[in-house]
Amino acid sequence: MGSQSAVSPLLRSLSRPHGFEPLRVEGRLPESLRGTLFRAGPGLFERFGASLSHAFEADGAVTAVRFDGRGAQGACRIVESAGYRAEEEAGRFLFNSAASWLDRMRAARRGTAKTTGNTSTFFWQDRLFALMEGGLLQEMNPDTLDTLEATDLGVVTGAFSAHPHRVASLRTTFNFGVRYSQKMLIDLYALPDAGVPSKLGTVEAPWLSMVHDFMATERHLILFVGPVKLNLLRAMLGLSDFTKLFQWKPELGARLIVVPLNDIQAPRTFELDAFWTWHFANAFEDEGGPCIDLCHYPEFTLDGIGELEDEGPPPLLTRLHLDLKTGKVRETKLFDVSCEFPQLHPRVHGGRYGTLFAQTERRSGGQKHPGITRIALDGGKGAEWAVPAEHVPSEPVLVPRGEAEDDVFVLDLVYDTKSDHSYVAVLDGQHVEDGPVATVHFDHPIPVTFHGGFAAAS
């Protein structure tokens, strides 16, 4: 997917895996910022002299920055899963499009796959996991980033998606996993803050698609099935690379499957015009039914994952109002600037809210102007940090400081194309426009990271 000399961090492998070591700090770190930022993304695009067709196939890399109130230490390690270790022993790819057809057929016949952990991190009950679209939870040691064993937590049937969502009022994190056969089955899971995880049930999708993200409220789980179809036979036989397995079928329209938490076996399906979303912002219960906020794309593409689109209509923050009585959906645009990777104060996850932060991109004169923006949905004042030219931001991660929705530290892992290194910008959520109060610097570039989170120091 590109050589090591490519400029974009999306296209390059991790140059120097390492454990925790001191990082250079510019500015003054807030004394109250204590804990660890975890990020995950594709870490190896080339191995054994071969390149991969897409970022989603790459072995993951987990990056961590530990703040202690005075300084910071950073680490970045490849996710050395069982599949990764098997390939190292064999000296060749065994599981993806760069593997030989024979090796792909063997993996398909045995039903084996590689848990790459290349999409997100998940910190739950003091355990750290690297997650991907279609595998188990790959456990990592949060103190060293050493790779441990993959786990099903005793309940996961086949896959655990990379987008778990916590409902703050329920003190529970929910997630899903997709299983493909002649039908697409979506398994639903609940992981309480304290206690054991459980499988809530299974719902059936209307066609074989890709379900990337979902949303949870106090009463419902909401699944999005877009007008994208998987060629299951080609996938099972290993006849295509990842980018050719899914086709955009706008004539199908889109579906929202709304699953009541008190009656998993009684889902409601809402039909919508064709669109695509990679990421939700939040959802909450309103009069008549749930409201779902998401980044709305007019169509599906696997190009430019991890970056805002260069061409075509931008993804816009959009609210869908569902009426459970009439089955109708009303759509409202919430923000007129291209935005992705929306995040909000953990206190209001799954409930009503008025403020969120996102990676944004303004365009003028053929130029792109990226930013990290505080978006006020409740009539309050928004603000933006205009990221320096030739710096590439990522998904912001919020660290609560107080109860107000903007009373947070905003951490953003940024790539500096000029100096070819990555740093974490520490922003005051109430004064985003002032820029970083401190920056924490690696001495090397970090490949693109999709998602992550923050684990507060105990």
Per-residue pLDDT of the chain (458 residues; tens, 9 = 90+): 333 334 455 578 999 999 999 999 999 999 999 999 999 999 999 999 888 878 888 999 999 999 999 999 999 999 999 999 999 999 999 888 788 878 877 877 776 788 999 999 999 999 999 999 889 999 999 999 999 999 999 999 989 999 999 999 999 999 999 998 889 999 999 999 999 999 999 999 999 999 999 999 999 999 999 999 987 666 655 555 666 778 999 999 999 999 999 999 999 999 999 999 999 999 999 999 999 999 999 999 876 554 444 555 689 999 999 999 999 999 999 999 999 999 999 999 999 999 999 999 988 777 889 999 999 998 778 999 999 999 999 999 999 999 999 999 999 999 999 999 999 999 999 999 999 999 999 999 999 999 999 999 98
* Cα–Cα dist 41/61, whole Å: 6
- DSSP tag of 297: B
Amino acid symbol at 297: Y
Is the pTM for the entire model greater than 0.85?
Answer: yes
* The pLDDT value given to residue 50: 86
* Cα–Cα dist 307/305, whole Å: 5
φ, ψ of residue 88 to 5 degrees: the values are -60, -40
Q: Are residues 424 and 65 in contact, defined by beta-carbon separation less than 8 angstroms?
A: yes
Which pair of structure tokens corresponds to residue 309? 């689109």
* The pLDDT value given to residue 370: 94
* Cα–Cα dist 189/199, whole Å: 4
237: part of which helix (H) or strand (E)? Answer: helix 232-237
* The pLDDT value given to residue 240: 55
101: part of which helix (H) or strand (E)? Answer: helix 101-110
Query: Which residues lie across from 293 on neighbouring strands?
Result: 282, 319
Write the secondary structure of 77-100 as one string of H (helix), E (strand) and C (coil). Answer: EECCCHHHHHHHHHCCCCCCCCCC
